[in-house]
Structure 1
């Protein structure tokens, strides 16, 4: 059942009232414990806010933070809740705390238990300073995760569909064409000596079997051959034209000839590389050699 705005407001007000009354009950016990460990009237009055107030701060931080920060806030909340429960329990077991007639720094008759309770009561304010500052820093630096919109989901699904791989279609291979040989009927032998009709010259019929077979074979070869594809990508080393490689002596001679009238300021590796069309490593070597030769001549 969904609550309307009025119902939610009433529920929040009731929760605040219950928490306020519970804090008032706990405040009485924590104030008496603070007085027993040596706190003055003002410090004893503020002591419950240190313990129960940090519990409220840790609860709010747990609602805002996420992942590891949220687990840290829940651990702080659980620790201070358990500490407040122990001190309230001690307040109920020691009646002298109600009238402030207990000895200073005495919360239990057994010394080990008394030392542990005094350590717990005195360490809670210091822990509130440390854990409270850490929780506030985590809340201020927290960046909530963005809520995905329906448009973003639609674009993502469209992109996924576009990037989905599809099976390659098999290439259809043309069926081979079977050449049909046309067989001419065998000639019939006729005895013209017994015929009474006048003889007429018989026209010679050229054979047509060979041209028909040749044309059929040509079409079959054309159908089986695949069209040539354009060469794409990098040309292999074998297909490249052989380029003569110059030796170091040849490069040095060409460099001397090309840079004979160059001043020293113009004698750079880049200029030599462009002039001789060589690699940067060879250009730097030639530059150093030529400069050394000029220096030797000048000396």
Structure 2
């Protein structure tokens, strides 16, 4: 059964009433403890608001926050509740605290217990400043829909057959451009048997058209499959080589040629492999460069 709006309002009002009455009961004990540890009348009057006020703030934070922040708010609420309980208990054991008939700074006859109680009572205001500001910051930064993703977030860009282009502008002019590891090209369906296979089959049939077809064996199928796999692998490697050469050519045109090691690492290859691709690009550019030839003088 769910509560309607009026029922929720009554529930909140009842909670506020209980908290207010509990604060009034605890206020007397905390004020007397504050006076016993040396607080003046104004500080002793405000002391209960520091302790129980932070408890109220932590209670609100547990209703608003979620996840680890809510766990943190619950720990603050539990810690200050326990501390307030201890001080109220001490006040009940030492009723003379209310009449100011005890020695200044004495909450217990046993020295270790007295030191611990005084440390607890004096550290609560300082902790209220730290934990209170942290809780308020978490509440202000909280977004109710921050944990729920609005939709599927693509990890990579759109899937295409073309390799992603690399940025040309490095973070620092003196550094080499960072080349992300290239993804392997998308796998395509195996190509049809090459002319070598089909031509061989036609030559066998043309030799004697009246000869019945030979029965295919498992060895023939394995040989053709091996050939197709070899052709496919070679095509894939050639595509990677073309991509690497294009990357180097573009970096060279931009005036920041990549090194052989960086090129090899970007495509999952070795430095020598990257050097071969760079040499292939340079060899391809040689014919387009003007060459000077010495002209000999004709013999008279």
Partner of 1:59: 59
Partner of 1:10: 10
How far the C-alpha of 1:71 sits from its partner, in A, is 2.3
Matches within 5 A, 1:1-299: 1-144=1-144, 145-147=146-148, 217-218=211-212, 220=213, 234=235, 276-277=286-287
| Unpaired runs of at least 5, structure 2 | 153-207, 239-281, 289-300
Cα gap change, 1:276 to 1:104, in 2 (>3 Å): same
Aligned residues: 182
How far the C-alpha of 1:94 sits from its partner, in A, is 0.9
Relative to the length of structure 2, the TM-score reads 0.51
How far the C-alpha of 1:148 sits from its partner, in A, is 6.1
CA distance in 2, matches of 1:58, 1:76: 7
Partner of 1:250: none
How far the C-alpha of 1:77 sits from its partner, in A, is 1.2
| Unpaired runs of at least 5, structure 1 | 154-213, 238-271, 279-299
CA distance in 2, matches of 1:8, 1:275: 79
CA deviation vs aligned residue, 1:110-168 (integer Å, no higher than 9, x gap) = 2222221111111110111111122222333334434468xx69xxxxxxxxxxxxxxx
How far the C-alpha of 1:29 sits from its partner, in A, is 0.8
CA deviation vs aligned residue, 1:200-219 (integer Å, no higher than 9, x gap) = xxxxxxxxxxxxxx87645x
* CA RMSD, 1 decimal: 3.7
How far the C-alpha of 1:275 sits from its partner, in A, is 6.2
CA deviation vs aligned residue, 1:191-244 (integer Å, no higher than 9, x gap) = xxxxxxxxxxxxxxxxxxxxxxx87645x3599999998x7662999xxxxxxx
The DSSP-based 3-state class of the residue aligned with 1:100 is: coil
